[in-house]
Chain A
Amino acid sequence: MLKKITITGGLDKDGHPERVQRLDIGAGEVVGVVGPTGSGKTQLISDIEQYADGETLTGRSILIDGQTLQQSVEVRNLRHLVAQVSQNMNFVIDMTIEEFLIMHTQVRSIGSPRQIIREVLSMCNELSGEPVSLTDNLTRLSGGQSRALMVADVAMISQAPIVLIDEIENAGIDRLQALEILKGKGKVVLLVSHDPTLILMARQRVVMKNGGMDKLYQTTATEQKILADLLRVEKYLSRLRDHLRNGNTIDPKDGKEEWCYGQNTGTLSVKHQ
């Protein structure tokens, strides 16, 4: 199992050494990657995926447990170093969830797939809130269900030690839970995002500028407080969504819950009576 990856020695678009000259990410850690469009986020990810060894545009080297591609036989034999989950991805194969998961476990030479497939399914349903069953067809899944299944599959079946999560802003899945699951499986997680909740979920984040890694921040105590607020807002929104979607109105007289806006804190909350 991979212990850490290191990104080192890169240049920005003008050929100057980038300000963050070394970034270590350990197994089970999440690093956010932020910056405007064109700042170099995609190139950074591309360097990692290609296992760059000083030859890409940025001149960066990627080390896995301190070794380059040339030195590490183990990693060279890995078919996939980086697993990706992004908003643009869809299942295109016309098969049931069960048939497909069996196929994927066979590819990974997993002997008794039944147990793992059950775990993937329950993880998926925990993440998406709209349950799916093994006999559902992959191409019929909603966006949220697809993303949830992708995360569960990456966590349980895929061998790739590094996971890249690219802009799953509002994919209708429990993102905090998804990150916890991936961390728990010892994956190195990189999170490219413009969404404040997701950005703050990463304990550290790297800021991209002009093609280079410009700054490296740890989340501050205040940011963590704000994150807690944001998560409350998300919970509120998701309950509100379910409430309305299930055909209910919002009138304190009909229901047990009172939906209100917290005037003092400036946040939204749900009060239980």
Chain B
Amino acid sequence: MRFVIVAGTPSSGKTSVMLHTIRHLLKDGRSVAACKIDCLRTSDDARYRRLNIPVAVGLSDYICPDHFYVANLEEIERWAQARQADILVLETAGLCHRCAPAVYGCLSVCVIDNLIGMETPQKVGPMLSTADIVVVTKGDIVSQAEREVFRYKVETVNPRARILDFNGLTGQGSIRLKNEILKSRPLETITGKELKYPMPAAVCSYCAGETIVGRTYQMGNVKKVDFGGLEQC
């Protein structure tokens, strides 16, 4: 089974991109299963369900959705295998720029859009720099010049990735993404595979449900702002 991990900045069009692409995969006779990870609620599963494919949803609730995601990879793989999927599409919550879901052996796709700002590719970090494929959306509403500069910025952060322009409304670009998915090597099992980049860490009193502000209420892995060494109290 090919294991496709789809991450990206909020509202960049992750689901739209995958819906168009899955349609082409289905047309080619492939069987696809989709799983969406989110935090509190999602309606993306309804959009996947319209394709008549097996769909699962994982809501992380009070846990960081990325930690929840990595802790459930084996279960999600087993679920998709039980549905005889050739291709598993796993869409992350895509809420945080520090998100780093790429796993060696899987195909990691990062979806970002031309509107997020020229400096954002640098800000996004490992989600972008560890992706195998970067899909850039919303090119139809910005100037050609901005598209070219934005692409250059993406290349600076991740020179190895294939970069695809994609129109999430019309599906332009979906055949190229389909071909990239089919070119990727199937994965025997996710068990034992390695994250390309460590997840953001957080083990502190607030993780455990603390709600009061103040140093005396903080325990565990607590990091403070560095104001340049002078103003720390």
Residues in A lying within 8 Å of B, measured CB to CB: 42, 46, 49-50, 52, 55-56, 79-80, 83-86, 88-93, 100-101, 103-104, 107-108, 146, 149-150, 153-154, 157-158, 160
Contacts and interface: CB of A to CB of B under 8 A. Distances in A.
Given A88-B140, A92-B142, A80 B147 contact: yes
Nearest to B163: A79
Given A79-B151, A93-B146, A50 B141 contact: no
B148 interface: yes
B43 interface: no
Contact of B140 (A55, A84, A91, A149): A84
Contacts of A157: 145
Contacts of A79: 148, 151, 163
Interface of B: 114-115, 117-118, 140-149, 151-152, 163, 165, 170, 172-173, 175-176
A158 B144 contact: yes
25 contacts: A42-B170, A49-B172, A50-B173, A50-B176, A52-B175, A79-B148, A85-B144, A89-B141, A89-B143, A89-B144, A91-B142, A92-B115, A92-B142, A93-B149, A101-B145, A103-B118, A104-B145, A104-B148, A150-B143, A150-B145, A153-B144, A154-B145, A158-B144, A158-B145, A160-B144
Given A50-B172, A55-B175, 9 more contacts: A83-B144, A85-B144, A88-B141, A89-B140, A89-B143, A92-B114, A93-B118, A107-B148, A149-B143
A92 B145 CA distance: 11
Nearest to A83: B144
Nearest to B178: A55
Contacts of B115: 92
A130 to B, nearest CB: 18
- The 6 nearest A-B residue pairs measured at CB: A107-B152, A83-B144, A153-B145, A46-B172, A104-B145, A150-B143
Nearest to A159: B148
Specify which of A52, A103, A160 lies most central, judged by the most chain B CB atoms within 10 Å of its CB: A103
Contacts of B165: 49
A68 to B, nearest CB: 14
Given A42-B170, A50-B172, A107 B140 contact: no
A92 B147 CA distance: 11
Nearest to A89: B143
A50 B145 contact: no
A150 B141 CA distance: 12
A4 B77 CA distance: 48
Given A46-B170, A50-B173, A56-B175, A84 B149 contact: no
B149 A104 contact: yes
Contacts of A103: 118, 149
Contacts of A101: 145
B146 A92 contact: yes
